[in-house]
C-alpha cells in the first residue's frame, strides 16, 4: 500500500505541471477557438500591444471614412482630426444617415433636425450607468437597424454620451454632429417642431447589441488597469473643489468644457495642445470618468486618435483607488 501511495504521488507530481501549463494556454486563448488574436478580450497587462493589434484587426467602415466628408477641391483644406469621420459638420450630413437626437423630449419638441428620432440619453440608464437592454429597446422603438449610418445630435455631453453608448454596444457606422441642431440652424437650415417625429423610419428593427468590452472599465478591472504604466486616468469634471474632495489616484483633471468653443469642438491643433499640455500620451490608454462630461472627452480623444475607455457611473467613488486632497478637521 505504501508503494502504491508513493507511485500515486509521483504521478500527481508529474501531472500537476501539465495541468498548470494547460490552464495558462487556455487563458491565453480565451475568447478564440484557434489561438488567434481576440479583439474582445483586452490584455490588461499589455494594453498598448493589444490596442495595436485591435486597430489592425478592425478596419474603418467605408461609409464613414474621412473621404466621405472631404472638403471641396476648390477650398483650402483645414487641418483634419486623425479620426475625422467621427465628427460631422452640419454642412456635410450625408444622404441616408439616420439622425438620433439625444436631448429630452421637451427639448426635442422645441426644434430639431427634420426626420430626427428622439433617443433621450437619460432613459438609457438604470441608476447612474448604461443599461444595454434599455438601449436596444429604445433603438427598436425608433426603427434603428444595425446597418444604419447613425448621426448623433443634441447638446454636448448628452450627444456624446449616446455616441459612446452606441460605440460601446457595437455600432460601426457612427458619427456625432459637431454643434448639434444649433450648428445646423446656423448653417441656414430650418428646424422643425413636434414630438416623436421619426420621419421615414423603418417599421421593423433588427438591432442587437454586441458590447465592445474594452470601451468600459468596470469595478473588477479598475485597479488592474489603473496600476498599468500604459494607462492614464482623466477626471472630466469642471469643479476643482469636487476633484479635490474625491478623485481617482493619479487622475489628471481636464474639464470637458475646455474641448468646446460656442458648443463646437475646438480644432485639432487646439485639442492637441490641450491634451499634450496636460500630459496625455498618444501611446497610452486613457480612462475617463465623471459622466456625462466624460463622454465628451471620450469623443474628443477618440477623434484625436487616442485609445480611450470610460468609467460609467459614480461607483468609482467607493473604490480603493479613490482619494481625497481634503484633510479632515481636527477634533
3-class DSSP string for 128-154: CEECHHHHHHHHHHCCCCCCCCEEEEC
**What is the predicted pLDDT for the residue at 272?**
97
Report the CATH number at residue 133: 3.40.250.10
202 and 241 share a domain?
Answer: no
Three-class SS of residue 324?
Answer: coil
Angle between helix axes 293-303 and 268-277 (nearest 10 degrees) is 110
- Under a CB-based contact definition with an 8 Å cutoff, are residues 38 and 32 in contact? yes
pTM of the model: 0.77
220 and 205 share a domain?
Answer: no
- Given 172, 194, 211, which residue is the final one in a domain? 211
104 and 149 share a domain?
Answer: yes
239 and 310 share a domain?
Answer: yes
DSSP 233: E
Q: Domain for residue 109, yes or no?
A: yes
Q: Which three cell numbers stand for residue 246?
A: 474625491
Q: Domain for residue 262, yes or no?
A: yes
Band (pLDDT 50/70/90 cuts) for residue 260 is very high
Band (pLDDT 50/70/90 cuts) for residue 79 is low
Mean pLDDT of 238-249: 94
Q: Number of structural domains, the chain?
A: 2
Three-class SS of residue 255?
Answer: coil
Please state which of the ranges 35-39, 59-63, 259-263 shows the lowest mean pLDDT.
Answer: 59-63
Mean pLDDT of 96-125: 95
**What is the predicted pLDDT for the residue at 47?**
56
Q: Domain for residue 75, yes or no?
A: no
Q: Domain for residue 26, yes or no?
A: no
Model confidence at 268: pLDDT above 90: yes
Q: Domain for residue 57, yes or no?
A: no
Mean pLDDT of 305-314: 96
Burial code (b: 16+ CB inside 10 Å, e: under 16) for 249-262 equals eebbbbbbebbbee
Three-class SS of residue 261?
Answer: strand
- Under a CB-based contact definition with an 8 Å cutoff, are residues 234 and 297 in contact? yes
| Helical (H) or strand (E) element with 174 | strand 174-177
Proportion of the chain above pLDDT 70, given as a percent = 71
Tens digits of per-residue pLDDT, 186-227? 999 999 997 765 544 555 787 888 999 999 999 888 988 877
140 and 183 share a domain?
Answer: yes
CA–CA separation, 63 and 87 (whole Å) = 13
Distances (CA, A) of 329 to 63, 64, 247, 326: 58, 55, 19, 9
221 and 319 share a domain?
Answer: yes
Nearest in space to 201 (alpha carbons), one of 148, 163, 162:
148
Q: Domain for residue 15, yes or no?
A: no
Q: Domain for residue 9, yes or no?
A: no
Instruction: Write out the residue range of the structural domain in which residue 114 sits.
Output: 62-69+81-211
Proportion of the chain above pLDDT 90, given as a percent = 63
Mean pLDDT taken over the chain: 80
Preceding amide of 214 cis, omega within 30: no
Mean pLDDT of 66-85: 55
For 232, phi then psi, to 5°, come to: -125, 140
Residues in CB range of 186: below 8 A, 6 or more apart: 90, 179
Amino acid at each position: 500500500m505504501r508503494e502504491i501511495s508513493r507511485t500515486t504521488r509521483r504521478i500527481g507530481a508529474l501531472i500537476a505541471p501539465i495541468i498548470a501549463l494547460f490552464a495558462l494556454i487556455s487563458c491565453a486563448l480565451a475568447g478564440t477557438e484557434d489561438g488567434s488574436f481576440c479583439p474582445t478580450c483586452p490584455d490588461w497587462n499589455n494594453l498598448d500591444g493589444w490596442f495595436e493589434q485591435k486597430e489592425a484587426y478592425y478596419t474603418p467602415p467605408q461609409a464613414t471614412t474621412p473621404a466621405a466628408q472631404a472638403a471641396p477641391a476648390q477650398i483650402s483644406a483645414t487641418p483634419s482630426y486623425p479620426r475625422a469621420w467621427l465628427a460631422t459638420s452640419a454642412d456635410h450630413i450625408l444622404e441616408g444617415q439616420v439622425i438620433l437626437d439625444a436631448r429630452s423630449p421637451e427639448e426635442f419638441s422645441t426644434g430639431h433636425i427634420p426626420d430626427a428620432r428622439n433617443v433621450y440619453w437619460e432613459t438609457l440608464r438604470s441608476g447612474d450607468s448604461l443599461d444595454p437592454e434599455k438601449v436596444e429597446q429604445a433603438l427598436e422603438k425608433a426603427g434603428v437597424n444595425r446597418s444604419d449610418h447613425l448621426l448623433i445630435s443634441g447638446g454636448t455631453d448628452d450627444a456624446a454620451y449616446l455616441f459612446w453608448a452606441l460605440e460601446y454596444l457595437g455600432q460601426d457606422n457612427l458619427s456625432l454632429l459637431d454643434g448639434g441642431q444649433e450648428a445646423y440652424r446656423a448653417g441656414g437650415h430650418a428646424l422643425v417642431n413636434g414630438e416623436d417625429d421619426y420621419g421615414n423610419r423603418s417599421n421593423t428593427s433588427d438591432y442587437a447589441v454586441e458590447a465592445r468590452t474594452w470601451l468600459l472599465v468596470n469595478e473588477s478591472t479598475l485597479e488592474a488597469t489603473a496600476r498599468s504604466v500604459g494607462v492614464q486616468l482623466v477626471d472630466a469634471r469642471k469643479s476643482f473643489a469636487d476633484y479635490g474632495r474625491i478623485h481617482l489616484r493619479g487622475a489628471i483633471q481636464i474639464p470637458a468644457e475646455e474641448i468646446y468653443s460656442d458648443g463646437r469642438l475646438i480644432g485639432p491643433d487646439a485639442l492637441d495642445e490641450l491634451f499634450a499640455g496636460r500630459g496625455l500620451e498618444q501611446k497610452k490608454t486613457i480612462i475617463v470618468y465623471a459622466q456625462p462630461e466624460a463622454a465628451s472627452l471620450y469623443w474628443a480623444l477618440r477623434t484625436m486618435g487616442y485609445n480611450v475607455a470610460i468609467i460609467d457611473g459614480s461607483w468609482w467613488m467607493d473604490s480603493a483607488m479613490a482619494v481625497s486632497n481634503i484633510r479632515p478637521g481636527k477634533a
